[in-house]
A and B are shown apart, each in its own frame.
Chain A
Amino acid sequence: MAGQARGKVTIDVEECKGCGLCVESCPPKCLELAEELSAYGVHPARYTGHDCTGCGICFYCCPEPGAITVYRRIAPPKAAVAAPQGDEHAATL
């Protein structure tokens, strides 16, 4: 189901300070700290590429204003009717 994740996250490597709070906070555990160092000598966070629900928790836990951008998949019209209202993570918002 990797290609069908409901959301996705992009992380600005320039802005990320590698604190790891987003990795800790992510409910579906879809973020990780990169193996390689960034130009600033930290292991920046990155999206594993699957299971993001677009809940946005990582955004609120990140201290940097613009390091994280969260996307949610625009539901196709017919899927929108069938889709359940939100999910367990979105409900916490």
Chain B
Amino acid sequence: MADESKVGLKELEVSNNGFEVIHTKSDLFYDLYERKSELQHQTHYCPGCGHGVAHKLIAEALQELGLQDKTVFVSPVGCSVFAYYYFDVGNVQVAHGRAPASATAIKRACPDKIVISYQGDGDLAAIGTAEIVHAANRGEKISVFFVNNGIYGMTGGQMAPTTLVGEKSTTSPWGRRPANEGFPLHMSELLATLEAPVYIERVALSDNKNIMKARRAIKKALEIQRDGAGFTFVEILSPCPTIWGKDPVEARRWVLDRMVPVFPLNVFRDRKPEMPVNNAPPQRPVPDVLEITPKEGGYEGGVASHAHRFKNFTIKVAGFGGQGVLLLGQLLTEMGMREGLEVSWLPSYGPEMRSGSAHCHVCLSKNRIGSPLISHPNVLVAMNEISLRKFASQVGPGGLILYNRDALPADFEAPPKVRVICIPASEMADKLGSTKTTNIVLMGALLEETECLSPGTAMGVIEDKVKKVELLETNRKALAAGRHFIDEHAHLEALSQPDGYAE
């Protein structure tokens, strides 16, 4: 031990002439545990608890390896939730089962630190199964110490995934029956099926010999992490005398007699897998990346000078799936991006996409966008009647509804102070040769009416999206038709307001 001589000398001076200290409280533990005002010299663990032994073995290993100042200990939820009161290292206590995820973050942020995820079986094998499996599968260079006592100790003895078949608990009062509760989960074996882990061993705090094996396993795991080799996992079968209803000596024997046959002690993995050293994504120079979005001809000239007379402009586009609802939203977003605005596009998905109604939310903003979800859009583009009836009431005062028909339904009443423009976009698009350009006609009308974005940008975006020359011409006509419709029919009495749309 690194400072054995120091402690030894101190003790020798007191009284023990002729003796040296071989084992005493590790410097890794705080002198006093400030969890409560009283009993600061004792841990909170029950007499005979395996956690205490596991803590001591980890502390000794860290001290021997000289890693105290480099260690971050991630405490779980469970009986060992208070581990940060004991270990004089960096400490984090995390949500139930999430220790491997937090440890991943810490290790990746501070790769030179030793990160320990210390978890019980309720934490690791039940609520945190996903976290441990994926951390192991990614080969995170952390050490996980999995204290398995086959029961939920802290909460008073509920059945854990690792509870033995036939064992009674408060939630399996007739004993665990595989037909009802499944079989005990073998985490070490399970993780050993993955490729990335470097070291997986199961040990038991059941008797002198096995405690010493546990000591070696824990130290080895930490050495492997120190050397940066990869994911290490030590499962520690541990007694829980209180919940098992046994005295400490009996409980320890029970680990050997009953748990070890079910959870065999073994080294399940002890090798370094072939792993590519460099995980950096392939980098490309910025011009290369940019080249894939815009075409030559650029969109900077003239377009950026478009005056955006709004701070935030929100558009909801709704209609049947297949009408180009989501595409219209994407085009508007792309245009906003090219004009230097903050943009977001939030589509609706799922069953709506299949012969139902679809909608999407578009935000154009001069500031950063908090949420892409719009509850009260400035503009609703309703491409069918269902959408009009469904979303019209969301449009706030001063807003605009563009409705894809020549007139509103007879029984429909527009919301107060909302301007409604009915434009037979589908018919117009059909005359131009393709009903698929309905959305472009509506876009033309939207741009002309609100002047939120420049039609020049619109053509730039359309040119980039549409590959076929004849379709491009149709789209150009559709855009022009939409703008022309507004000029002819709707714009006569409307004056543009500073917020970009007509009163």
Residues of A within 8 A of B (CB): 7-8, 12, 14-15, 17-21, 24-25, 27, 42, 54, 56-57, 59-66, 68-74, 92-93
Contact = CB atoms under 8 A, between A and B. Distances in A.
A65 to B, nearest CB: 4
B19 A73 contact: yes
11 contacts: A15-B41, A24-B252, A42-B47, A59-B56, A63-B43, A63-B53, A71-B21, A71-B22, A72-B22, A73-B20, A74-B19
Interface of B: 11, 16, 18-26, 29, 41-43, 45-53, 55-57, 59, 86, 207-209, 211-212, 215, 241, 247-249, 252
Contacts of A69: 11, 21, 23-25
Chain B binding surface SS class: mixed
B248 A56 contact: no
A24 B249 contact: yes
A65 B21 contact: no
Nearest to A18: B47
A20 B55 CA distance: 18
Given A7-B22, A57-B208, A92-B212, 4 more contacts: A19-B47, A19-B249, A62-B53, A74-B19
The 4 A-B pairs at the shortest CB distance, nearest first, are namely: A63-B52, A66-B25, A19-B47, A19-B48
Contacts of A27: 208
Given A60-B57, A93-B212, A66 B24 contact: yes
B241 A19 contact: yes
A58 B240 CA distance: 19
A7 B16 CA distance: 11
Contacts of B53: 60-63
Contact of B249 (A12, A20, A57, A66): A20
Name, among A18, A59, A64, A69, the residue most crowded by chain B CB atoms within 10 Å (CB to CB): A64
Nearest to B16: A71
A73 B17 CA distance: 9
Contacts of A74: 18-20
A38 B207 CA distance: 26
Given A24-B249, A69-B21, A71-B19, A64 B241 contact: no
Contacts of B50: 63
Contacts of B21: 69-71
Nearest to B211: A60
Nearest to A42: B47
A50 to B, nearest CB: 14
B48 A63 contact: yes
A25 B53 CA distance: 13
A92 B212 CA distance: 8
A74 B22 CA distance: 11
B211 A56 contact: no
A3 to B, nearest CB: 11
Contact of B248 (A8, A19, A65, A66): A19
B43 A65 contact: yes
B212 A65 contact: no
B389 to A, nearest CB: 69
B483 to A, nearest CB: 79
A21 B252 contact: yes
A14 to B, nearest CB: 5
A74 to B, nearest CB: 5
Contacts of A59: 22-24, 56
Nearest to A60: B211
A1 to B, nearest CB: 15
B91 to A, nearest CB: 16
Contacts of B24: 59, 66, 68-70
Nearest to B25: A66
A15 B56 CA distance: 14
A66 B22 CA distance: 13
B83 to A, nearest CB: 12
Contact of A64 (B16, B43, B247): B43
A25 B25 contact: no
Given A25-B208, A93-B212, A65 B52 contact: yes
A20 B248 contact: yes
Given A60-B57, A62-B52, A65-B29, A92 B209 contact: yes
A64 to B, nearest CB: 6
